[in-house]
Chain A
Amino acid sequence: MPEMKYDDYLVKSRMPLFWCSGCGNGIVLGAILRAFAKLQLDRHNTVVVTGIGCWGKADDYINTNTFHGTHGRALGFATGIKLANPELKVIALMGDGDGATIGGNHLIHAARRNVDITAIVVNNFNYGMTGGQYSGTTLEETYTTTSQFGHIESAFDLCRLVEAAGAPYVARSHVLNVIQLEGFITEAIRKKGFSFVEALSPCPTHYGRHNGMKTAPKMMQWIKENAITLKEAEKKPQAEWENKFVIGKFTDKESVDYSTRYEAVMALAEASVSKGVSEREG
């Protein structure tokens, strides 16, 4: 295979991107394609699975194999794709509404099962595609088109959730920290087992506009100012960081993935067949 550069994975004929001016999705897309190039992923052996939402349109710009399914179900499709052919690299791209709200149940179970999939959630704190309604990660007391008096629910900490569900790789960064983000994505794809990367990202059109951050730079600045590294957080009392975005790698451990474990099931099953045959003969 000739050496792949990051833009060799980009579908240039469909540019410019469909996303709004300043939408962070493009930054995450760039980080992913650079990670692909760093790992020299074979397009034929890679499947990008997307859900529905603004971020869910990312597959339109990626020239590997793709699967664009339904809202919230990317990990269901990805699970079947991966388990039916464990040789494939499977990467699921989901929005916070998609992957963590309507699809939250699939997220925790995919993590628990430890299927070898990389899930990349772009968290822009709201449903961008449908006009900026609140999602499971919308922050308390912020405004969306469906929380016009201030949001009264608390937000999921997705990384802690996925970590608790058992995923061996969990990390969070934000689009301004694009180099770190790209590094996490690269490690996550390399990881055998369920890996999860959350990218905090601006949706200036909706969440930004409703919360006094009309431009992408403003919203990126806001994320940065409210971020704290995991290392710093660990040194401080919880009260000092519990309302901040904790950035860093939460988990990076070895854990036998589902397909490998299933090989043991197959071996036992095969042994049961030969036993069955001899019993019948005997």
Chain B
Amino acid sequence: MNRISVNTAWCKGCGICAAFCPVKVFTQERDGTPVPEYQERCTGCKLCVLRCPDFAIQLEVSGDEPK
């Protein structure tokens, strides 16, 4: 399974990742902090990583060599 982690020190809770994930992996806490609740759905498209304005999302796609 792909592993998504959010760097909460950099994340500002804007909701972009949650709003535009094609398979709705994220839910959000009250302050906007995203929670990758449905990680198992993740297709590894990396759009959330590319669209996060705060460089706060790390994605490890299973099978990817850790770099």
A residues apposed to B, CB below 8 Å = 5, 7, 10, 15-17, 19-27, 29-31, 34, 175-176, 178-179, 182, 204, 215-217, 220-221
Contacts and interface: CB of A to CB of B under 8 A. Distances in A.
Contacts of A204: 14
Given A22-B14, A220-B16, 18 more contacts: A15-B9, A17-B10, A17-B53, A21-B12, A22-B15, A23-B53, A26-B54, A27-B50, A27-B51, A27-B53, A30-B52, A31-B50, A182-B50, A215-B15, A216-B14, A217-B14, A217-B15, A217-B16
Contacts of B47: 178-179
Interface residues of B, number: 19
Which of A22, A23, A175 has the most B CB atoms < 10 Å from its CB?
Answer: A22
B50 A179 contact: yes
Interface of B: 9-10, 12-16, 18-20, 32, 47, 50-55, 67
A220 B53 contact: no
Contacts of B55: 7, 10, 15, 17, 26, 30
Contacts of B54: 15-17, 26
Contacts of B32: 21
Given A22-B16, A217-B15, A220-B16, A175 B51 contact: yes
Contact of B20 (A19, A176, A179): A176
A30 B13 CA distance: 18
A237 to B, nearest CB: 31
A217 B53 contact: no
A178 B10 CA distance: 20
B14 A215 contact: yes
B16 A15 contact: no
A159 B41 CA distance: 39
Contacts of A5: 67
Contacts of A25: 53
Which of B13, B47, B53 has the most A CB atoms < 10 Å from its CB?
Answer: B53
27 contacts: A10-B55, A15-B55, A16-B9, A17-B53, A21-B14, A21-B32, A22-B14, A22-B53, A23-B53, A24-B53, A25-B53, A26-B52, A26-B53, A27-B50, A27-B51, A27-B52, A30-B53, A204-B14, A216-B14, A217-B14, A217-B16, A217-B18, A217-B19, A217-B20, A220-B19, A220-B20, A221-B19
